[in-house]
Structure 1
Amino acid sequence: MRTANGRRPFSFYVLTAVFVLFVLFLYGPMTAIYILSFQGPTGGLTFPMRGFSLHWFEALFGQERTGDFAGAFERSLILALLATVLTLVISLSAGLAFRKRFVGASVVFYMAIASLVMPGVFVGLGIAIVLQILKLTPVWWLTGLGAHLTWTLPFGLLIMFAIFNRFNRAYEEAARDLGASSWRTLTEVTIPILAPGLIGVALFGFTLSYDEFPRSVLTVGAKNTLPLEVFAMTNTVTTPSVFALGTLTTAVSFLIISAALASIVVIQRRRSGKAGGGR
């Protein structure tokens, strides 16, 4: 926003400064971890740095590695992918269902998002108690998935409801007027239009499950997920390898986020190109 003489108002610079300080507050501490992960072989957990190398990244995968980093990463990745698929499918189905009012819709909605206000550790504790009563052993991909869905699904539902509130149903009506079946309308009209929003739901599902700690600690059983493994390493590892692990997991998260954002940009550009070609 600019003033009449083409200059930005003073409030713009104030708000920009506040935003920059906010970003530094969020990412400043993590930046220190990223830098320390590149310590030399004799480096420690604090500054000043003693050399610069990839030694501690190699230590994560080498013979001197501590903990089961590869197994924990694999389990977290599988859990996150399962949570992403189920969150996406259930959220889309719920969004389609809630377009029409039905008896008990409000009750179902508030029950679905109630877990947002419940502490995650109590959700995990409740699941663990039920398993103990039933004398069942926690299975990381099953009980852990159920716990993660109590966290990912409410966000997916809220995003999907917001998307459908802006959705123009005239496109669906036009497809039906042209003879398209309900299934073809859904797969060739509705879902393609909703694609950027669906990518957003999937991204939320993946990232929220990938780094979930409170709901995992009591529900995944004896095998750790990646957040639990990182927590265990902070108590047992006294080398910068724990920082290297944090840097790697953050890089994976940013890579996935970048891929999702790039997919949205590609979809929007294709739509713009088709719209321009039809003029």
Structure 2
Amino acid sequence: MPAAKTHAKRRAIAPSKGRRPWTFYALTALFVFYVLALYGPMICIYILSFQDVRGGLVFPMKGFSLHWFVDLFTQVRTGDVKGAFSRSIKLAILVTAITVVVSFLSAMAFRRRFPGDNIVFALMIGSLVAPGLVLGIGVGLMFNFLGIDTSWWGSALGAQLSWTLPFGVLVMFAVMSRFNPAWEEAAYDLGATRWQTIRLVIVPVLAPGLVAVALFGFTLSYDEFARTLQTAGPQNTLPLEIWSMTMNVTSPSLYALGTVTTVISFLVIGISLGTIVLMQKRRGQRAPMH
């Protein structure tokens, strides 16, 4: 009897063996729909940017060429794309440098408690809860009140730092929390000065985190719109130029610009991730030597 019961149980289980519950297919369909909704519009823009001169803003696609990429940087009617791109890159590099330095110094300072540290920390990240457009208007009004003209390298820089610095500080705090103070003490025991310890011990150990902060700073600045709208002055950055182009450009050159900016963003991300992997690999190779 026990054998018969066991055989009957196996037969009852056998038909469902290897089959997935209906919830699996429902969640899979939901995930596919999410991916299509997220990346579908981007893919459509990339495809339509490679049309020939007969191309329009909608499907079906007409021909295949690089015409609109050439048109983007040669025709005046598309706007000051070259200048806007140059200003955005310069601004992003400047924002990145300041964000990395200030975030690193903040992480070093907050390793020890000091009076009012909670207030200082709250002020550092407080701008994250403020709407970007409102904060940009406030920065622009402050510069006008002080009698200083708004510009992409002045007021826009300050507005964007209010966005990138909190992220950089939070990332560096997380990285610094994993730093072992024993390494620093060992450097002092070997006769290293304070500057030598920072340059030869702390910075190399925290280098992957610094690269991550730089990546945050560059990408957040490169495509920032809300905080730059009221602070860039008479010269547009690339996001503002794209926004203005949507009002008067009715050709796939706008799609070509989106494709170019996306390629640059992925290139920066790839370089940053590759740098982090290379640092980790070199650190792993040096570890057995000590």
TM over 0.5: yes
Q: Match for 1:211: what amino acid?
A: D
CA distance in 2, matches of 1:159, 1:150: 15
CA distance in 2, matches of 1:155, 1:131: 24
Task: Give the superposition deviation at 1:139.
Answer: 2.0
Task: Give the superposition deviation at 1:248.
Answer: 0.3
* Distance change in 2, residues 1:274/1:18 (3 Å): farther
Quote the RMSD (CA, aligned, Å): 2.0
The yes-or-no answer on 1:181 pairing with 2:182 is: no
Query: Mind listing any 5+ residue stretches in structure 1 that lack a counterpart?
Result: 1-6
Farther-moved stretch of structure 1 (14-23 vs 146-155)? 14-23
Query: Mind listing any 5+ residue stretches in structure 2 that lack a counterpart?
Result: 1-17
The yes-or-no answer on 1:157 pairing with 2:192 is: no
CA distance in 2, matches of 1:108, 1:23: 40
CA distance in 1, matches of 2:30, 2:184: 44
* Distance change in 2, residues 1:12/1:100 (3 Å): farther
Determine helix, strand or coil for the equivalent of 2:269: helix
- Corresponding residue number in structure 2 for 1:221: 233
Instruction: Please show how residues 1-279 of structure 1 align to structure 2 within 5 Å.
Output: 21-63=33-75, 65-278=77-290
Farther-moved stretch of structure 1 (241-250 vs 166-175)? 166-175
Point out the structure with the larger helix share.
2
Q: Match for 1:212: what amino acid?
A: E
Q: Match for 1:232: what amino acid?
A: S
The TM-score with structure 1 as length reference comes to: 0.92
CA distance in 2, matches of 1:46, 1:102: 60
Q: Match for 1:28: what amino acid?
A: G
* Distance change in 2, residues 1:98/1:12 (3 Å): farther
* Distance change in 2, residues 1:179/1:21 (3 Å): farther
Q: Match for 2:277: what amino acid?
A: V
Task: Give the superposition deviation at 1:277.
Answer: 4.3
Determine helix, strand or coil for the equivalent of 1:39: coil
Farther-moved stretch of structure 1 (157-166 vs 132-141)? 132-141
**Highest CA radius of gyration, 1 or 2?**
2
Determine helix, strand or coil for the equivalent of 2:51: coil
The TM-score with structure 2 as length reference comes to: 0.88
Q: Match for 1:163: what amino acid?
A: V
CA distance in 2, matches of 1:105, 1:159: 18
Task: Give the superposition deviation at 1:134.
Answer: 2.6
CA distance in 2, matches of 1:217, 1:98: 33
Farther-moved stretch of structure 1 (199-208 vs 61-70)? 61-70
Determine helix, strand or coil for the equivalent of 1:215: helix
